[in-house]
Structure 1
């Protein structure tokens, strides 16, 4: 077996993987960005695609055969993948136009054996690819163990951090009550148990948190919830403290995470088990089947309940937003002073913003890696700055910063996510910049002011944000809004505001009071500049005199000034001007008690009526 050292090049790593495939009698292997929980963000131990290819994006996959290799990414990463991945080693493929099945059919002969790790892909993914390849005589087979791991000698171990209780004073609801609701669901659906592998669902159900994944306060673990209201938590023993054991109580059995697969294969013969098709990997379904269990795909019963925030979670989020808004405002004033001097770069700006957030003792972490994007980098919606890509923020340019924090203490808990686009002087933004920013703002206002009947889905609102950009013949290639957790994942389902076409998950989900979403339309001119305005909003009930039925709207939760220099007042209607002035009045009222001196003076200036 070939073993790797940290010094080996990308070509050597690729060669080592191919030798391992030959040793196992395999002709190819699929490498996703994924972990055993189908998490959006994964721990260092699961960063297999980055180790093999150098790609640092959060979505994509590669496939390596004995003679070919390709990396597949969507339009968000077209530029990034070419900067980070050697085109001499990997073909660049664009999804959804290019498919893995189609590519394998091109490069493989009949009889080829392509392997995948069943703990890194969903059952539906494996079933669909198996059927697609069988038509070409290609065999898809689950790997007994991951062949890439066999040649990744310096692979980091999973995080050993302990799991900690999440106080009911912050959660607003006991774990026993949540487990009872899951038991009621199981009885109604006719199942004996449900497997819950999604890390944020485990955290929500048991009121626990952790630090195993950067920026998402979760612990690597699985839960099997039973119809009698009890549950089994599968977690590494070193993560368990007496405090956690007391918190979980007698109705939750703690078992070693290593025993999870065996438990699936032995305990459910003849029983019915529910699996979420989006989070239960193929390995879970295969282990249940091997043990004689029946399984059915149903949405994890915690997902919708988690998305509908209770009154305690809502208030905790408001408190977190006020603290976060003060930090971001301090940063924007600092940037207004330092940016025109030419000594600030993308990394130093992100570090300064983090330092302002860290002045609040309730900050536990950032909620994601800050998108600190200058000039043409701002035109990459999911740009991630690092030492190689870092550039100075040019004076006389647009700067975009998308960031957030994780807050939890006696004052409340919440997850924030805010984007502001600002002009860094000297000089004035171009007419085109102000036009595009104002059109983005107009769409943002339409979402913020939307009133809609109960039963409306996020996909039905998306056009409100795009209409003024469409009038100018432009658009943006990402969704308008995603769900946000309560001191949990910054991207949370099932709700979403996005174009309903293309099968995007969540766009058909009905919006319910208590759901938190982002409101973030944008515009991106490749190689030149990018604009995004993002606040978080809370779905709330609207009282309308004479209304026939129940109507909903949004409470804005994020309060930080908008850059007045990028607003063309002539493009705004009287109602839109009133919204901006009203919003800035709310910003001033909320943040003024949290700011002093020149920071307060800056806030008062930036929130004057248009």
Structure 2
């Protein structure tokens, strides 16, 4: 099994660890210390070595941070985790804070009259620190870079990962890494920049056509790089990660050096050096400033090229999604044969992983499967453990959010399923979520619009019923890379124009704390939309659906669907049947035929 069901959160240790941290704060003359979820690469998923937030507080979510002061320790979490955090931290010692509604600076102003708040410059970005400092202007509160105080007290902290870096096939990438380097170097030269610092592991993986094994679920390497305007690249990676096959793949266009050489290399640059203030560590700017190296703020040059997939990447990921859809249909056939009360959430997760493994192409799951039944379904990023494992009972809904990492693509799909007989209220909410998903799927929109312009379309059916959900409608997805990829998003905070080749999730939901949760998710890719008769001569985009797995018709109230929505659902189900049936066992084919009958 890729997935483990052990309980990793340990809130019972929080009080003692917080007391130790405060001892270190006093020794450093600090009024507080910031403990982020992120590592030096700003990763959403971190290696055990970097799981400082979890170690200190017990909170295991993929986003958030703690600010520990002498009298209070705030754990800042967004809407996805506001239910989860209450169950994972010691509420006598840690205080959940609704973020981003409450920002660090106003919270600090409320809690402190003055003092120095420490932070590890390896773990925070210049943009993040600048925002907090701006919010603290006019106060006696200052931010102070300092050694990592959690590392000082974490006696059994795991070692940093040293997973092997391996070449990624050019036929799947669609472009040789040498050509990427030449193209990216020319873009720097055209903007008068001598080099760019690359700190995001998925950017390095994409740029060099390599993959890594430092982080479970995400095939990325922990490394740093400097891209020069000549098209040459210096890669800073542990020698244990490098073998002869990788050296042969990288060739003369890439120089490999140890991580300890990174500081000296930064200080030796002549500049101007591009540094992404949203992803690089503050430590990078410290090195450049101390050596008087000119630098400019600018986006990681790999971000947009990586997000706009090549034709080869899109073709590869289509195949990965069809393979994954067949595994999902085999699982759903199995699921429908189980009587209420006979299986648990762990049974669901293990069975689904088994069907994906049976493809003989699964490299890993793309994240720990979310299998939340009843009230657990309302915990948006619920992770079932041996301690929380619940039995699926009659009348409940179960939210199953899962995905696979295949060499040719990364999948992410959510289906909400009924267990036995489900009430009309749950069906009405489900149908509203479905209407939002269909709205995005059918959308045509003018070129240049961003996720913030489209997000409301998925929410409208819920809004008119006085309902909503506390997460974005969709995130970007890589191709055998991270399941959460920027900069593209379907979100009210996303200002990045959507471009052809960008892969996104389309996943509206609804969550009633203590009762049930609902989410539906397909992956979609932006494409140029064909002209329509009588339409304006204006460039438009629409979405190609990548995911082909039936949506449970037993939860749909047809009277709430418009004719156009019903037609979309029936057409989608016919496509599921046509594309997936030839890949299925006889039993699953019969199941699929019934599951895709017209509404």
Instruction: Give, in whole Å, the separation in 2 of the partners of 1:106 and 1:509.
Output: 34
Aligned partner of residue 160 in structure 1, secondary structure: coil
Q: Which residue of structure 2 aligns with residue 308 of structure 1?
A: 308
Distance 2:101 2:552 in 1: 38
CA contact (8 A) 1:437 1:567 kept: yes
Contact 2:14 2:56 in 1 (8 A): yes
Q: Measure, in 2, the Cα distance between the counterparts of 1:562 and 1:415.
A: 20
TM-score of the aligned structures, taking structure 1 as reference length: 0.93
String of CA shifts for 1:394-414, please: whole Å, max 9, x gaps: 222111101111101xxxx00
**Partner in structure 2 of residue 127 of structure 1:** 130
Cα separation, partners in 2 of 1:387 and 1:320, compared to 1, 3 Å = same
The structure 2 residue matched to 1:41, chosen from 39, 45, 58, is 45
Matched with 2:261 is: 259
Q: Does residue 557 in structure 1 map to residue 546 in structure 2?
A: yes
Q: Please state how far the C-alpha of 1:434 moved relative to its aligned partner.
A: 1.5
Q: Helix, strand or coil for the counterpart of 2:589?
A: helix
Alignment partner for residue 10 of structure 1, among 11, 14, 18? 14
Deviations 1:475-519 (A, max 9, x none): 1121111111011011111111122xxxx2xx2221111111111
When structure 1 is superposed on structure 2, of 395-404 and 462-471 the one drifting more is 462-471
1:523 matched to 2:510: yes
Number of residue pairs aligned between Structure 1 and Structure 2: 588
1:19 corresponds to which residue?
23
Aligned to 2:269: 268
Deviation of 1:7 after TM superposition, in Å, equals 12
Aligned-partner SS, 1:396: coil
Could you say which residue in structure 2 is the equivalent of 1:543?
A: 530
User: Which piece of structure 1 moves more, 437-446 or 387-396?
Assistant: 387-396
- 8 Å CA contact 2:185–2:230 kept in 1: the answer is yes
Structure 1 position 134, deviation (Å):
5.3
> Following the alignment from structure 1 to structure 2, what is the Cα–Cα distance between the partners of residues 401 and 11?
34
Distance 1:129 1:552 in 2: 38
Give 2:480's aligned residue: 487
Equivalent-residue separation in structure 2 for 1:540 and 1:473 (angstroms): 33
1:578 maps onto 2:567 in alignment: yes
How many Å apart are 1:520 and its aligned residue?
1.0
Distance 1:481 1:9, change over 3 A: closer
Which whole-Å CA distance do the structure 1 matches of 2:452 and 2:97 have between them? 28
1:511 aligns with 2:498: yes
Contact map agreement 2:451 2:498 (CA 8 A) in 1: yes
Structure 2 equivalent of residue 349 of structure 1: 348
Do the aligned partners of residues 475 and 131 (structure 1) sit closer, same or farther apart at CA in structure 2, a change above 3 Å counting?
A: closer
Q: Which residue of 2 aligns with 1:587?
A: 576
SS of the residue aligned with 1:140?
strand
Question: Is the deviation greater in 75-84 or in 206-215?
Answer: 75-84
- Counterpart in the other structure of 1:433: 426
Instruction: Please report how far the alpha carbon of residue 83 of structure 1 lies from its aligned counterpart in structure 2 after TM superposition.
Output: 0.9
Inter-CA distance 532–341: structure 2 relative to 1 (3 Å threshold)? closer
Partner of 2:453: 460
Instruction: Give the 3-state SS of the residue equivalent to 1:250 in structure 2.
Output: helix
| Structure 1 residues not aligned, in runs of 5+ | 1-5
3-state SS, counterpart of residue 447 of structure 1 = helix
Change (3 A) 1:131 1:307: closer
CA distance in 2 between partners of 1:525 and 1:12 (Å): 34
Does the 8 Å CA contact 1:193/1:225 hold for their aligned counterparts?
yes
Q: Which residue of 2 aligns with 1:415?
A: 410
1:131 Cα offset (Å): 4.2
- RMSD of the TM alignment (CA)? 1.7
Contact 1:276 1:297 in 2 (8 A): yes
